[in-house]
């Protein structure tokens, strides 16, 4: 069921500094910041040859990242994202094995694809995002 590692998401307290580090020091291809208002985050995609890094920064009053950065003031790894071919089949498979997803319904994620999150308790202490892989014919 599980496919490619789509991205590793890193919460950063200083987005411009993180951009400069990945772009100017590490020489990565870094895209322009994207405000995802409904998710309460600003995201910056760092394109690597085999996967992506997403730099995350809080956006707005009720960002889910605010508390994370209070607990991790220097930033930290926020989640990993794996691709699945069919998000609803994946949710069903997880339910069969007693693993609940955090959202009752898939939401549209940063790449325009449906996503759900799994509780870190069930996943070795790491927040895991599942993203339906983009279909080849769209």
Q: Which residues bind Co ion (CB under 5 A)?
A: 9, 81, 129
* Cβ nearer to Co ion, comparing 27 with 94: 94
**Best CA proximity match to 75, nearest among 83, 84, 66:** 66
Closest separation in Å from C-beta 21 to Co ion: 20
Closest separation in Å from C-beta 133 to Co ion: 14
Closest separation in Å from C-beta 40 to Co ion: 13
21's CB contacts (< 8 A; 6+ apart) are none
Spatial separation of the C-alpha atoms in residues 133 and 87, rounded to whole Å: 9
* Cβ nearer to Co ion, comparing 64 with 85: 64
Q: CA separation (Å) from 5 to 15, 18, 69, 102, 123?
A: 23, 21, 24, 20, 15
Task: Please give the positions annotated as active site.
Answer: 129
């Amino acid at each position: 069921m599980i496919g490619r590692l789509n991205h590793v998401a890193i919460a950063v307290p200083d987005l411009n500094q993180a951009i400069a580090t990945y772009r100017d020091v590490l020489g990565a291809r870094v895209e322009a910041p994207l405000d995802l208002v409904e998710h309460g985050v600003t995201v910056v995609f760092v394109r690597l040859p085999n996967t992506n890094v997403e730099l995350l920064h809080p956006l707005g009053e009720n960002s889910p990242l605010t508390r994370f950065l209070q607990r991790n003031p220097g930033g930290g790894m926020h989640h990993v994202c794996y691709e699945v071919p069919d998000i609803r089949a994946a949710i069903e498979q997880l339910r069969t094995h007693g693993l609940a997803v955090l959202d009752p319904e898939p939401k549209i994620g940063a790449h325009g694809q449906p996503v759900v999150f799994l509780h870190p308790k069930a996943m070795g202490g790491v927040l895991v995002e599942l993203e339906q892989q983009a279909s080849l014919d769209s």
